[in-house]
Chains A and B, each alone.
Chain A
Amino acid sequence: MSGIALTLGPVFFHWSPDRLLDFYRRIADEAPIDRVHVGEVVCGKRMPFSDPAWPEIIERLERAGKEVVLSTLAAPATVRERKSIEELCADERLIEINDVTALPSRAGMPFVSGPFLNVYNEASAQFLIQRGATTICPPVELSLAAIGDLARSCPDAEFEIFAFGRLPLALSGRCYHARIHGLHKDSCQFTCERDPDGLAVDTLDDQQFLAINGVQTLSNQVQAFCPAPADLTSRGVRRIRLSPHTCDMVELAKTYRALADGREHPKDALFILSCLDLPGTLVDGYFHARPGWQATASI
């Protein structure tokens, strides 16, 4: 056993309450995942739909022995969104901070620093650790070497890598789902719900490139980093984050668990991932200090 823990990140997409309940029920019962993030991160307008589902989901996950983390909005703006962050910050469970807005309300209490917070160096990491950060999942554009350097400089926090899923590349004040349907954000009609893994954005030459999810832009390609466990532990990285998609996340979690325990070879793990029903091709460029869309490992 390598001592590497598995995290299921928050769902970035606008899934219906029924889909969320089904998804987390299966995660609770079947997935070898230690920590599960719940909550809306991308768009506060979706919260009235998903909010009623969370108490049951949290209860189910905790009953199954999972550690639940309440993720908070990455780009809060309205009074209601800010209030929701304040309320979540008061919770005794661990929360994930994705915008500086949450820091004052969480003063002195433990939190996860999410990938939307700009932690690029040891000084900013230390600053957040002093204020309660216990786990840090750095921005996705950092290389594994850089994350390793951070982890070595900050032994008091646990470092996590965004290993699987479409990469969260940008947020905007503008909703692209609304724009593409000729609507504005303020009257968006929630068309993002039609694309549970995001809507593919191709170039004029049909190159797969990006994906949109409301105000969020993701990669079209799917991050699928399958390191040997020693590559992580030698760098002080102790946690792997998997970002939810509509593919079989239980099978995916089992594969990563086997990989982290040294029971599955990285090449074989990558092959198993490639057999899942994924929305894009597999990439891992960022971890190798290369453009994010590139794939260094071949299947």
Chain B
Amino acid sequence: MTSGRMELVCPAGTPATLRAAVQAGADAVYCGFRDETNARNFPGLNFSGEELAEGVRFAHDHGSKVLVAINTFARVNDVVLWKRAADMAAECGANAIIAADIAVLDHVAKNHKQVRLHLSVQAAAATPEAIGFYATSFGVRRVVLPRVLSVQEIAALNRAIDVETEAFVFGGLCVMIEGRCYLSSYATGKSPNLNGVCSPPEMVSYDDEPSSTAARLSGFTIDRYEPGEPVGYPTLCKGKFKAGDKTSYLFEDPVSLNAGGMIAGLKAAGVTALKIEGRQRGKGYVTEVVRAFRKAVDAVEQGGDAIEIDRILAGQSEGSRQTAGAYSKKWR
């Protein structure tokens, strides 16, 4: 779609991380309001209207854009809350609204024509027909790609559509198609689509047992750790389960996404923007990751080779296991 410079889109869970991301070199930051209208509805995170307005001023003064995620699905009889969030984002001068629900997209398209619409990953639009539907119906200008496509498929998709694409390159990795996963509400009653949360912390328990610690979600054992083993958060789809005669990380190992090595490939595939996940992360983390990816993206833009990119991002792979996810066909 584009031959221009790729845009680096970075997470901002708080006003302080917004400033940190902007100063570390984000072309755009994305954030949400402090309620269930966004998919990272965690305690202590997100923005009030005033904070957003101030964040937008700061970002614009430094040449960065602000994208506001209103990307959960509006509750029946309460659609007005989602519409109000969109109105507030527009009033604050947001450059774009990231939405998934037809109700929200329709409202923004009809009432805030000056605000760009980006289709959230939660809408799971992975085909030219689906993307075309959102572009035609609501004037969507960019689609955040579902994490099911290989780089080759993204290239083919970009040839078939005339809106921009944005691809996740780093951070938490959903294994299921986002926006179409009810695992969390099945176990806990709270879901990403309805409540903006997955595997919520208030349902988590770590139970010390004679020879191990069990990490449980809503009473379901998600993983078990030997003494001394680092204990992970019991995210449902990263758990260890029994199926057939095997015990394994059936859905996905406890890994995170790092497609740093694929930046050049994503550029060649026509991707407009690269997205870093992690609105729940602190200032220090965001600064470090954004700074590294800024360098890596700039190096790719200047024709840097794979070895150089690997060297720049080497510091981002310590301590946790990583995967390039669906971008590599073998992941499937």
Which one of A121, A199, A205 contacts B244 once the chains associate, using CB atoms below 8 Å? A199
Q: Report whether A176 and B250 are in contact in the complex, using a CB–CB cutoff of 8 Å.
A: yes
CB distance from B203 to the nearest CB of A (A): 9
Question: Restricting to A228-250, which residues have a CB under 8 Å from any CB of B?
Answer: none
A159-182 vs B: 1/0 string, CB under 8 Å? 000000001011111111011100
Report Cα–Cα, A153/B247, bound state, in Å: 47
In the complex, given contacts A100-B123, A118-B123, A184-B332, what are 5 additional A-B residue pairs having Cβ atoms less than 8 angstroms apart? A100-B125, A101-B130, A127-B102, A141-B194, A209-B187
Q: Report whether B186 and A219 are in contact in the complex, using a CB–CB cutoff of 8 Å.
A: yes
Name which residue of chain A comes closest to B132, CB basis: A104
The residues of B that contact A167 with a CB separation of less than 8 Å are 182, 186
Q: Report whether A118 and B100 are in contact in the complex, using a CB–CB cutoff of 8 Å.
A: yes
Q: Report whether A180 and B248 are in contact in the complex, using a CB–CB cutoff of 8 Å.
A: yes
A135-155 vs B: 1/0 string, CB under 8 Å? 000011100001001100100
Q: Which residues in B have some Cβ–Cβ distance to A below 8 Å?
A: 73-79, 100-103, 106-107, 123-130, 132-134, 136, 146-149, 153, 175-177, 179-183, 185-189, 191, 193-194, 214, 218-224, 237, 239-244, 246-248, 250-252, 326, 329-332
Which one of B73, B129, B136, B218 contacts A118 once the chains associate, using CB atoms below 8 Å? B73
Tell me what chain B mostly uses at the interface: helix, strand, loop, or mixed: mixed
A105 at the interface (CB under 8 A from B): yes
Report Cα–Cα, A152/B223, bound state, in Å: 43
A103-125 vs B: 1/0 string, CB under 8 Å? 11100000000001010111110
The residues of B that contact A204 with a CB separation of less than 8 Å are 214, 221, 223-224, 240-242, 247
Report Cα–Cα, A101/B191, bound state, in Å: 24
Q: Report whether B127 and A77 are in contact in the complex, using a CB–CB cutoff of 8 Å.
A: yes
Q: Report whether A286 and B177 are in contact in the complex, using a CB–CB cutoff of 8 Å.
A: no
Q: Which residues in A have some Cβ–Cβ distance to B below 8 Å?
A: 74-77, 82, 85-86, 99-105, 116, 118, 120-124, 127-128, 139-141, 146, 149-150, 153, 167, 169-176, 178-180, 184-186, 199-207, 209-210, 212, 217, 219, 285-286, 289-293
Report Cα–Cα, A54/B222, bound state, in Å: 40
Q: Report whether B243 and A203 are in contact in the complex, using a CB–CB cutoff of 8 Å.
A: no
- A121-B103, A122-B76, A123-B106 known; A171+B182 contact, CB < 8 A: no
The residues of B that contact A123 with a CB separation of less than 8 Å are 74, 79, 102-103, 106-107
The residues of A that contact B222 with a CB separation of less than 8 Å are 203
Which one of A75, A173, A178, A292 contacts B182 once the chains associate, using CB atoms below 8 Å? A292
The residues of A that contact B126 with a CB separation of less than 8 Å are 75-77
Q: Report whether A120 and B187 are in contact in the complex, using a CB–CB cutoff of 8 Å.
A: no
Name which residue of chain B comes closest to A148, CB basis: B76
The residues of B that contact A149 with a CB separation of less than 8 Å are 76-77
Q: Report whether B133 and A100 are in contact in the complex, using a CB–CB cutoff of 8 Å.
A: yes
Name which residue of chain B comes closest to A178, CB basis: B332
The residues of B that contact A99 with a CB separation of less than 8 Å are 124, 127, 130
CB distance from B291 to the nearest CB of A (A): 31
The residues of A that contact B224 with a CB separation of less than 8 Å are 204
Report Cα–Cα, A76/B153, bound state, in Å: 13
Q: Report whether B331 and A209 are in contact in the complex, using a CB–CB cutoff of 8 Å.
A: no
The residues of B that contact A185 with a CB separation of less than 8 Å are 332
Q: Report whether A293 and B187 are in contact in the complex, using a CB–CB cutoff of 8 Å.
A: yes
Q: Report whether B243 and A199 are in contact in the complex, using a CB–CB cutoff of 8 Å.
A: yes
Report Cα–Cα, A85/B128, bound state, in Å: 13
Report Cα–Cα, A257/B242, bound state, in Å: 37
| Among A77, A153, A169, A204, residue most surrounded by chain B Cβ atoms (within 10 Å) | A204
Q: Report whether B74 and A105 are in contact in the complex, using a CB–CB cutoff of 8 Å.
A: no
Q: Report whether B187 and A291 are in contact in the complex, using a CB–CB cutoff of 8 Å.
A: yes
Report Cα–Cα, A286/B183, bound state, in Å: 12
CB distance from B236 to the nearest CB of A (A): 9
The residues of B that contact A74 with a CB separation of less than 8 Å are 180
A-B CB proximity, top 7 nearest: A173-B148, A123-B103, A185-B332, A120-B73, A292-B186, A124-B102, A170-B176
| Among A116, A185, A203, residue most surrounded by chain B Cβ atoms (within 10 Å) | A203
The residues of A that contact B73 with a CB separation of less than 8 Å are 118, 120-121, 124
The residues of B that contact A100 with a CB separation of less than 8 Å are 123, 125, 129-130, 133-134
Q: Report whether B221 and A116 are in contact in the complex, using a CB–CB cutoff of 8 Å.
A: no
Name which residue of chain A comes closest to B218, CB basis: A291
Report Cα–Cα, A39/B101, bound state, in Å: 27
Q: Report whether A209 and B176 are in contact in the complex, using a CB–CB cutoff of 8 Å.
A: no
Which one of B189, B218, B240, B329 contacts A186 once the chains associate, using CB atoms below 8 Å? B329
Name which residue of chain A comes closest to B77, CB basis: A149
Report Cα–Cα, A141/B76, bound state, in Å: 13
Report Cα–Cα, A210/B184, bound state, in Å: 12
CB distance from B226 to the nearest CB of A (A): 13
Which one of B102, B124, B146, B250 contacts A201 once the chains associate, using CB atoms below 8 Å? B250
The residues of B that contact A86 with a CB separation of less than 8 Å are 129
Q: Report whether B76 and A146 are in contact in the complex, using a CB–CB cutoff of 8 Å.
A: yes
The residues of A that contact B129 with a CB separation of less than 8 Å are 82, 85-86, 100-105
